[in-house]
Structure 1
Amino acid sequence: AFIDIDEFLFSRSGDLLPTLNQYDQYPGVVVHWACYGSAAEHEDESAGLLNTYLHRAPTQWRENRKYKSVVHPARVTSMLGAHGAEYLNGELAVDETMRTVPPQPEAVLAKLSARRKERELAKGERRSTVAQLARRIRRMAGRIKKGSRRALKRFMQRFLPLLSRRSPWPQGSSSILTINHYRIRSRREYEEKIARWGSGKKYNSEQFHYYDRNEVFDPILKGRGRGPSVLS
């Protein structure tokens, strides 16, 4: 499984290995993220990461479309970045519903010309989705108090990236297998990262606000740690 230290792979049935064995005939299975946020700016993590951060973004959020891969190493010809792989004889991985999944979208799009890329991204745009997003923005804007620069800034940071372009990642299912992704924790912990690694594209205030999504209370891993049922 190609996962990072802040990612926790598990089966919602509780038994990870038996669940993964159901996909043994395939070269790989992709597992989608569930991105967790700061949830009230916790400063005390003495209870443990999985017991402290219990709120996440909605399943349909664009970053939760991204996935990591669990593969048969002998059937892999090359890894496509951190997310996907190319397999022997042109085989394809599947998602948890056993639907085939193309190679990592970013790798596929990188092979297209700039003009072709724009056409492919624009092709998938749906007017209904844009209209729905516009309604959400209007409702949110109405809640922002006049003169609240901080609220306005957070509003812009959260919604402007959604308007830039459609995500190339397919909407996936995570009702069987999930990777809980704790990209951010407390504000203090994130500022320590910025101090350690520098403020750049990966670590900055805008990224913190963008990933700080806490709409869904989901304590599914509370009381559980790394082991046979949770892989990290």
Structure 2
Amino acid sequence: MIASISLSDIIVSVIGALGAVAAAIIQHWISKRPPPTASGAQPSSLTVTRRRYLVAWRLVAALSLVVAVLAAMQVYQGLTRQPVTVEIRTPTENEPVDGQRYGGLEATVNSVPPGFEITIVVYDTNSHRYNPSDKLCDLQRANHLKCTDIYLGKDGTLTKAQNFVIEIVGITADAKKDFEAYNRTAVEQKYPGLVTLPAGVLIIGERGVVRRS
């Protein structure tokens, strides 16, 4: 399950609503004030200036209200959207794996939010770093997910068994670009891994495995 409500949407919605209320109060206050008098000023010029202030504040109130409504719609969609669920078929929990390459993960995933694509990130429990796959998973009919060619750690033979966590993640377009940028230089840099996952990555599910060799 992943969170589908953005804190930024809530903040923008509240600020927009407060801005709309404040602007409406100010323009109402301006409209109710008695016309100002100033030596040498023509009443008509004062009236025009006052009208301009009213129009400006009405525009501010309208724009703030639009922002608040759009953000509130995002929050509502997040509250009413079905949570993402995943049932991982393979691998099983702490399944032993021989060698670096694992043949593939299969799962059933439901209610993936719009704008997200699914891929795999492997978490190294020794280095505490993340290695994103350079391929997207294949979401087939009946929400059947297949992720092939998952690599656990680096080339070579291990001297002792090592634990890895295969994470199924949803990524936005920006997160996808971050993963692609990492993978372009990962081979030359011997797969250093990411210390943290970039913004726009949502962990949908995970499964631990043990690489034995």
Q: TM-score range by the shorter chain?
A: under 0.3
Give the TM-score taking structure 2 as reference length.
Answer: 0.19
Q: Which has the higher Rg, Structure 1 or Structure 2?
A: 2
Specify which structure has the bigger relative contact order, considering alpha-carbon pairs within 8 angstroms and separated by 6 or more residues: 1
**Counting strand residues as a fraction of each chain, which structure ranks higher?**
2
